[in-house]
Amino acid sequence: MKDSGIEYRRSEYLDTYVQVGTASGRVVSVVFTDDPEGDEPPRGEGSDALEAVFEYLGDGSATPDVPYALTVSGVERRALERTRDLPYGTTVTYDDFAASIGEDDVARVREALHDNPVPIVLPSHRVVDEDGVGGFAGPREVKKRLLEMER
């Protein structure tokens, strides 16, 4: 198994490729794209991170428990990391989420979640707008499908 590099696999459910970047065994990026980069390993032969993401996508299991690396600090890091506390299948509004982490600047929290470099691993899709969806670090349609899958 690779512990550094870029790998991808097509998700029929999301109708796009999911590209996972790792460095020293830690996930550094998850990208939803129609034009992937890197290697497409056979199923079961990808990095632990790629396999964990596709296990989650395949059977709707719990959030992938894989090591990740963030290059942000402060409110941004706290907001991203606290998404791991949101139970599978639940959602919370940006306002309520910001309040739960003790942050008054909802716009800053929203921006941090929209810039999430490792969506799915840090499940920022569970934080929604009043319309039930809101923004996302990938296409809005992907966020909708992730929310539907978890229902």
> First-to-last CA distance in the chain?
32
Has residue 96 been placed in a domain?
yes
pLDDT of residue 60: 64
Question: pLDDT tens for residues 21-34?
Answer: 999 999 999 999 99
Q: Between β-strands 5-11 and 16-23, what pairing exists: parallel, antiparallel or unpaired?
A: antiparallel
CA 32/CA 142 separation, integer angstroms? 8
Question: pLDDT tens for residues 83-137?
Answer: 999 999 999 999 999 999 999 999 999 999 999 999 999 999 999 998 889 999 9
Per the structure, the complete domain to which residue 20 belongs is given by 5-59
* Together in a domain, 17 and 45: yes
Secondary structure class of 65 (helix, strand, coil) = coil
Number of domains in the chain: 2
Alpha helices for the chain (secondary structure H): 48-59, 74-82, 94-100, 106-114, 140-150
* Together in a domain, 139 and 95: yes
* Together in a domain, 88 and 119: yes
Q: Which are the contacts of 24, defined by CB distance < 8 A and separation ≥ 6?
A: 3, 4, 69
* Together in a domain, 114 and 141: yes
Question: pLDDT tens for residues 39-80?
Answer: 999 888 889 999 999 999 986 668 899 999 999 999 999 999
